[in-house]
Structure 1
Amino acid sequence: MAKDLDTILHSREADFQSDLIDWLKIPSISSDSRHTQDVHAAADWVVEKFRSLDLEVELIPTQGHPLVYAQTPPVPGAPVVLVYGHYDVQPVEPLDKWVTGPFEPDVRDGNIYARGATDDKGQVLTHIQSLAAWRETGQPLPLQIKYLIEGEEEVGSENLQQFLKTESERLACDVVVISDNSQLGDGKPAITYGLRGIIAFELHVDGPARDLHSGSFGGALANPANVLCRMMSELIDAEGKIQIPGFYDDVRELSDAERAQLAKLPFDESRFAKQVGVDALVGEPGFTTNERRWARPTLDINGLTSGHQGEGGKTIVPSTASVKFTCRLVPDQNPDKIAEVVKERIAAICPPGVRHRLEVGHGGGGMLASIDSPYMAAAQQAIQRSFGVTPFLIREGGSIPIVAEFQEQLGAECLLLGWGLDDDNAHSPNEKFCLADFHRGIRASAYLWEELAAKS
């Protein structure tokens, strides 16, 4: 049977790639109301894909974008797998940085370029195409798979979180499989056992009732832009240590054993610096680069707005300034608690002469998975069979807030199996996905169903 499956996987590669291209053409930007119909079209596309596989499928409306739920028949005595992914994508600006249109998928140099290629249409599609291959074998699937694919991951998954609270019985499973992250590097597949959480903020600082002439009024009143810069500099020092009382209270520290394990990973700091375009790597003292980006909390400004932004000069004291910033959190840090200590710190450092308003955005906790479970062993074996090498065990600095919710609400193990690469430009212009890894991901997924069933 394995030979038959391999033959099908190889013979269907062109069809699998064609499906990916079709899905990537849909501009399903969840944060932009102008694309609401496109987001729904992307959901409809995957609904039809499930129907073509004769699955029981449902398009579930929410107060925002719909959820897609599908399932295969139960298999008594075998594990139940929940596959999670998302069909929504990030905005595409700046457009002038794209070599080809973000929704005009282009294949070059072994990669497919389009928004959503690696985050997350290409990766979640591997787990759908693997089922298609299994169906063609004529053999019964060795376990039950439930699929839950949402359209709001890029805006916080709020409606999915509500769905989890009310539909946990329907989603009951032994293990959740997610591919929305990266390998350690090219030819270095990995299983991610830890994710950071997140909490987002937007701070507004208001001063005079209108923009004022900087010559006539400068020096006589507080400049909101100057104040905002000073306030943000008081939240984090030059070395990356966060200056907010209580912020580190619940941080789960790395054990000596885990630090030793992370230190053994093949990681070239100079190559990493060159890849991201900097001449030096900096951060919180006492930690390695991988520890800082995977297992330590951070605070980063995401955008600043104030005063004149057009061509040429305009000598004003702006009436208002604002900043968007996020904190990445580690296991045991509670987003709600962090929001409170940030509020208290902002209020304490806001000077006279201006007014401030802090808006708290989406948030979610970090997670750690067991590296000793039978499901982890099954995933390692499936990846070994497909990629030809043993996968590394890594953490990831990014956030998929819903993962912690899956652990809490469903009590299930989570397998984070990333097929992407760290230079795939997720959230940036020229997002890509290596097509060889797309097909290796489909094979690994197909083998995973077999390996997981063998663990029952």
Structure 2
Amino acid sequence: MQEPDPAVHDYPYDRVGPLLDDLAAWVRIPSVSADPAHERDVTRSARWLQAHLLETGFTEVEEWDTHGLQTVFACWPAEDPDAPTVLVYSHHDVRAAKDQEWQEVAPFAPALRQGRMYGRGASDAKGQVLAHVWALRAHLEATGRSAPAVTLKYLIEGEEEVGSPHLADLVRERADRLAADVVIVSDTMLWSLQEAAVCTGVRGSVNAHLQIRGPRRDIHSGVVAGAAPNPLTETCRLLGLLHDDQDRITLPGFYDTVAQPSPEDRRGMEEIRFITDNWLERTRSRSIQGEAGHSVLERVWTRPAAEVVTLLGGDPDDPARGVVPAVASADITLRLVPDQSADNVMEQLRKWVAETIRDGFEYELSTSNTNQDPYATPADHPALSALEAAMSRTLRRPALRIRNGGGAPAALLAETVDAPVLLYGTGLPEDHWHDSDEKVEVQALLQGAETLAYLLEDLSGRLRESR
């Protein structure tokens, strides 16, 4: 295990004030991709990033039109034309935020408190993007280079929080510009600030919307109660049948292709210091639920899951009118693991709904065009070894291997770019992504910058040797 390089380590720590000022300036831009009222703010966010990358030294910085919201592409070629190429993917759009639900700060009025920066996007994912920029600056300062050791490309999209509806077409159309030897996806989480734990895989996802129709219109319950088809009751019945009494998903064939964790994955889960009370506090989960016979880490990293994320019917925002509602709906997210296929799982869900819903109702089951397959980094790829070495060097302890419970377009990028994907983010489970009082640990950003700086130098040699 290499000792930390003081020149790399000291760079972000010595400049932490200005670096955090940059993050705060970016977080102040409310780049909410789901709200058309913030369309110009997403543009402002993209323009802020473009200016920041140009100031850093990128020689090519472009705004790519996706027929939606802006994606930023940047490139800084290495001095050596034969140097490997690294593509970094992340996003600059953020989730919507309700001011009245935030207690620490207003969502777009970032503030630094007790080593944490609060604000929407501070962790997911503007902080992650800037950790890469700070790493690049540390890499150049420490090595005396005028250009990075690898040709470095950034792809920072503006629609991730609405499911990346244009990303697949964009990367296929621009595949020549995105060509790389390895991709780094930075929209993931660390396990903790103390553990050198490398994420080696992300779950895929299927997002489905179910709408069930009963009466032809809302009907006073006193007229038809007990004799009319109630779509809200049927929706609840159907969703209740999605799991059995062991919390296993009941779609026929759903588990047929679920791959067993590798020995490295099992060893990583065994070596991670998991403390139930600590995990409940960090995630605010209240209690542990899920598939019988599997640990918490297995459930969130290596097992599939099905969650109801929205359920609507009747009068959710007004006093009840005492009617049998005409329509009810639910949004369902299925989390997938290797070797499941998003397309296959969606067909399993379609067949199950058709066979399970009772007569007397009409329904529609639609799916997002942004479903994602699961992805696992090749266990023996030298780029993964380089990331493990970089994390070990920063934290001065051997690296473990973990998974990430969320999703990312890793499978899409791996297929389109035809390169392995590394997964490295600076988020933590307690950062409250998508919730009120989102925050980022400053220490996570500084450690991330140091790790990524070591990685840039190490990838240059390891990728050359593997050609």
TM-score relative to the length of structure 1? 0.94
Equivalent of residue 284 in structure 1, options 258, 283, 291 = 291
Residue equivalent to 2:367: 360
Q: Give the total of aligned pairs.
A: 455
> AA paired with 1:19?
D
Q: Determine which of 437, 440, 446 is the counterpart of 1:439.
A: 446
Three-state SS of the structure 1 residue aligned to 2:430 is coil
- Equivalent in the alignment of 2:337: 330
- Structure 2 residue 110 is matched with structure 1 residue 105: yes
For the 8 Å contact 2:61–2:75, the answer to whether it is kept is yes
Tell me whether 1:21 sits opposite 2:24 in the alignment: yes
Over the aligned positions, Cα root-mean-square deviation in angstroms equals 2.0
In structure 2, what is the equivalent of residue 129 of structure 1? 134
Report the CA distance between 1:298 and its aligned residue. 1.1
C-alpha contact 2:431 2:438 (8 A) present in aligned 1:
yes
- Structure 2 counterpart of 1:139: 145
Q: Deviations over 1:49-97 (max 9, x none)?
A: 1111232111111111122111112333432111111001112147424
Please name the residue that 1:63 is paired with: 67
Q: Which residue of 2 is the match for residue 36 of structure 1?
A: 39
Partner of 1:197: 204
Quote how far apart the aligned CAs of 1:162 are.
1.0
Residue 101 of structure 1 and its aligned partner are, at CA, apart by: 0.7
- Give the secondary-structure state (helix, strand or coil) at the position aligned to 1:433: strand
Question: Could you tell me whether the CA contact under 8 Å between 1:299 and 1:327 is conserved in 2?
Answer: yes
Cα distance in structure 2, aligned partners of 1:393 and 1:72: 31
Which of 375, 385, 405 lines up with 1:397 in the alignment? 405
Secondary structure in 1 matching 2:176: coil
Matched, 1:188 2:195: yes
Q: What is the match of residue 83 of structure 1?
A: 88
2:109 match: secondary structure: coil
| Cα offset, 1:260, TM superposition | 4.3
1:209 aligns with 216
Q: Is the 8 A contact 1:190 1:392 kept in 2?
A: yes
- Counterpart of 1:175 in structure 2 is 182
1:341-352 counterparts in 2 under 5 A? 341-352=348-359
Q: 1:130 to 1:254 in 2, by over 3 A?
A: closer
Q: Is the 8 A contact 1:189 1:419 kept in 2?
A: no
Rate the CA distance shift 1:8–1:263 in 2: closer, same or farther, 3 A. closer
| CA offset digits 1:357-390 (Å, max 9, x no partner) | 1111130100011233221222122222323333
Q: Read off the aligned partner of 1:375 and give its amino acid letter.
A: A
Aligned amino acid, residue 28 of structure 2 = K
- 1:296-335 alignment runs, 5 A limit: 296-310=303-317, 312-335=319-342
Q: CA deviation at 1:33?
A: 1.3
Separation in 1 of the partners of 2:200 and 2:294?
19
- Stretch deviating more after TM superposition (441-450 or 251-260): 251-260
Identity %: 34
Cα distance, 1:423 vs structure 2? 0.5
Partner Cα distance (1:76, 1:387) in 2: 33
The correspondence for 1:370, drawn from 354, 370, 378, is: 378
Counterpart selection for 2:249 from 242, 246, 260: 242
How far, CA to CA, are the matches of 1:335 and 1:19 in structure 2?
38
| In 2, Cα distance between equivalents of 1:125 and 1:359 | 37
Unaligned runs of at least 5 residues, structure 1: none
Tell me how far apart the structure 2 counterparts of residues 95 and 145 of structure 1 sit (CA, whole Å).
41
Q: Is the 8 A contact 1:191 1:415 kept in 2?
A: no
Cα distance in structure 2, aligned partners of 1:93 and 1:342: 33
Contact 2:132/2:449 (CA < 8 Å) preserved in 1?
yes
Q: CA contact under 8 A between 1:191 and 1:418: conserved in structure 2?
A: no
Question: Residue by residue, what CA displacement relative to the aligned partner does 1:20-74 show, whole Å, maximum 9, x if unpaired?
Answer: 0011011111122111111111111111111112321111111111221111123
1:73 paired residue number: 77
Mapped contact 2:74–2:154 kept (Cα < 8 A): yes
Superposed displacement of residue 312, structure 1 = 4.8
The answer on whether the counterparts of 1:190 and 1:417 sit within 8 Å (CA) in structure 2 is no
Alpha-carbon deviation of 1:135?
4.3
| Structure 1 CA distance for aligned equivalents of residues 50 and 62 of structure 2 | 7
CA 1:290–1:131 in 2, change beyond 3 Å: closer, same or farther?
Answer: same
Q: What displacement does 1:308 show?
A: 2.0
Change (3 A) 1:186 1:85: same
- Residue deviations 1:435-455 (CA, integer Å, cap 9, x gap): 121122112222221122232
Using a 3 Å threshold, how does the CA distance of structure 1 residues 397 and 4 change in structure 2: closer, same or farther? closer
**Equivalent residues of 2:221, 2:324 under 8 A apart:** yes
Cα distance in structure 2, aligned partners of 1:3 and 1:62: 42
Deviation track 1:374-407 (CA, whole Å, cap 9, x = no partner) reads: 212221222223233333210111000x211121
State how far apart, in whole Å, the 2-side matches of 1:94 and 1:233 are.
34
Query: Amino acid of the residue matched to residue 49 of structure 1?
Result: H
Q: Distance in 2 between matches of 1:301 and 1:378?
A: 38
The verdict on how the C-alpha distance between 1:290 and 1:337 changes in structure 2, with shifts beyond 3 A counting, is same
Unmatched 5+ residue regions in structure 2? Answer: none
CA contact (8 A) 1:240 1:298 kept: no
Q: 2:172 aligns with which of 148, 161, 165?
A: 165
Q: Give 2:387's aligned residue.
A: 379
Query: Separation in 1 of the partners of 2:371 and 2:75?
Result: 29
Whole-Å separation in 2 of the counterparts to 1:4 and 1:123? 21
Q: Which moved more, 1:94-103 or 1:9-18?
A: 94-103
Q: In the aligned structure 1, how far is the partner of 2:282 from the partner of 2:137?
A: 37
| Structure 1 stretch displaced more, 99-108 or 139-148 | 139-148
Tell me, in whole angstroms, the C-alpha distance in 1 between the residues paired with 2:273 and 2:9. Answer: 31
Amino acid at match of 2:383: Y
Q: 2: distance between equivalents of 1:94 and 1:236?
A: 36
Amino acid at match of 1:65: L
SS at match of 2:429: coil
Which secondary structure does the structure 1 equivalent of 2:46 belong to?
A: helix
The answer on whether the counterparts of 1:124 and 1:178 sit within 8 Å (CA) in structure 2 is no
Alignment deviations for residues 275-304 of structure 1 (CA, whole Å, 9 cap, x no partner): 444554121122111111111111100011
CA distance 1:232–1:97, shift in 2 (3 Å): same
3-state SS, counterpart of residue 123 of structure 1? helix
